[in-house]
């Protein structure tokens, strides 16, 4: 069964229009929630790790937050260069470090 579900599948924003991406998870014993950015034809690039409910991390226009059931990636005043697919992944306990990935949200920011 899906342990990580991302929504929406695709999101189109006008430049400057802030929004949020959602990652909901059903695993128990969360050992970390990870956000990645992936540009077309390239490997995913690590952005953030969150470990506990209430934690927040920021990087430029991106801010990730975590609750007990989901994480949000907030994008403030996005620019066209923020266009990419954003992937969420979780790590459970006792899995030798394996991550379980969602299918991603494809973000397009148009000028």
How far, in Å, are 9, 36, 60, 88 from residue 103 at the CA level?
8, 11, 24, 8
To another protein, the closest distance from the beta carbon of 62 in angstroms equals 16
Footprint of another protein (CB under 8 A): 31-32, 34, 36, 41-46, 49, 87, 89, 91, 96-99, 101-104
Per-residue tokens: 64 = 């990730």
Q: Cβ closer to another protein: 3 or 83?
A: 3
Quick count: other Cβ atoms within 10 Å of Cβ 7? 13
Q: How far apart are CA 82 and CA 97, in angstroms?
A: 29
To another protein, the closest distance from the beta carbon of 77 in angstroms equals 26
Q: Cβ closer to another protein: 33 or 75?
A: 33
How far, in Å, are 27, 37, 42, 53 from residue 107 at the CA level?
26, 10, 15, 25
Q: Cβ closer to another protein: 7 or 18?
A: 7
To another protein, the closest distance from the beta carbon of 44 in angstroms equals 5
To another protein, the closest distance from the beta carbon of 72 in angstroms equals 19
Tracing tokens 């975590």 back to the chain, one arrives at 66
């Amino acid at each position: 069964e899906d342990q990580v579900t991302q929504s929406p599948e695709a999101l189109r924003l006008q430049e400057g229009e802030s929004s949020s991406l959602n990652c909901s998870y059903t695993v128990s014993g969360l050992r970390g929630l990870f956000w990645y950015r992936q540009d077309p034809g390239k490997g995913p690039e690590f952005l953030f790790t969150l470990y506990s409910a209430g934690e927040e991390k920021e990087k430029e226009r991106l801010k990730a937050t975590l609750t007990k059931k989901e994480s949000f990636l907030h994008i403030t005043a996005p620019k066209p260069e923020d266009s990419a697919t954003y992937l969420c992944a979780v790590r459970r306990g006792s899995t030798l470090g394996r991550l379980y990935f969602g299918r991603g949200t494809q973000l397009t920011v148009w000028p």
